[in-house]
Each structure stands twice: as structure tokens, then as C-alpha cells.
Amino acid sequence: MKIYGWILLGWLGVLAFSGCGASENLPRIRYGEDACANCRMIINEPQFGCAIETPDGEFRKYDDFNCMFLDVEREKLTPKRYFVPNYHKPDEWLDGTQAFYVRADDLQTPMGSRVLAVPSREAAEQEAQRLKGKVLTFDEVRRELLGK
């Protein structure tokens, strides 16, 4: 009976570690320490700190959405992934290409993008109404911030 207990414990350990080990590789921004890859300012505001994963697996971190898009454009990068913070839960990364964005004149952001990101169109519409802004998709916000 004792051996079965050890076997069960072993399998539980394997299951627990396989779940942890398989976790997705995500960027980690050290707020108050890491510098923006574009403007070199220290990244301080979790609601706007964003990142990309380059084709070689490097994470580039930014203090505002416009810095992210400007750097990608200038460096002619083709990111594997875009990571943007959920405005309501800044410790939660969203897929930047699937997120919804709100741009509002009264929204203060580190480098003046005046943009926030949320996971759903409904949440974006609520924020747009609250801030008297407009809802944008990934391609729309990128074009607006790049002036294209």
C-alpha cells in the first residue's frame, strides 16, 4: 500500500510541474526600473506598459503604445506577438492584435498616445463612452498612432 502512495504522489508531482513548465513565455516589466526600448524613459505605469516578442524570442518593452508602434516601424520588425495590458487588470496581458483600444483626448498616458486596451468591444465601448473617446481595433490604432 505504501508504494501506491508514492506512485500517486509522483504522478501528482509530474502533473503539477508539467502545468507550470508549460506556462507561456510572457514579458516581465520591472516597473520603475526597465527603460522603454523606443524613448528610453523608465516604464512606470502598468496600465500602459506594453511589449513585443521579436522573431528571435527577445522581448522589447515600451512605456506607451505609440512607442511600441514607432519602434516596430522604425526597426522594420515583424513581431511574433504583441502584448498589451488590460486597462482594468494591468497585470493581465492581452494579445495586442485581438484587443480593443480606446483613444480619448482626456486620457493621460506616458508619451501622449492617449490610448488604453481592453479585452472586449463591450468594455471598449463603455470606456469610450466614459472618456468621450473612440473604439479602435489593432490595425486602426496602429495607423492612427503612426499617422498613416
Number of domains comprising the chain: 1
| 125 assigned to some structural domain | yes
C-alpha–C-alpha distance, residues 14 and 66, integer Å:
43
| 46 assigned to some structural domain | yes
C-alpha–C-alpha distance, residues 67 and 86, integer Å:
18
| 19 assigned to some structural domain | no
| 5 assigned to some structural domain | no
> What value does the CA radius of gyration of the chain take, rounded to a whole number of Å?
19
| 51 assigned to some structural domain | yes
Give pLDDT tens digits for 41-78.
999 999 999 999 999 999 999 999 999 999 999 999 99
- Containing structural domain, residue 69: 29-146
Give pLDDT tens digits for 74-108.
999 999 999 999 999 999 999 999 999 999 999 99
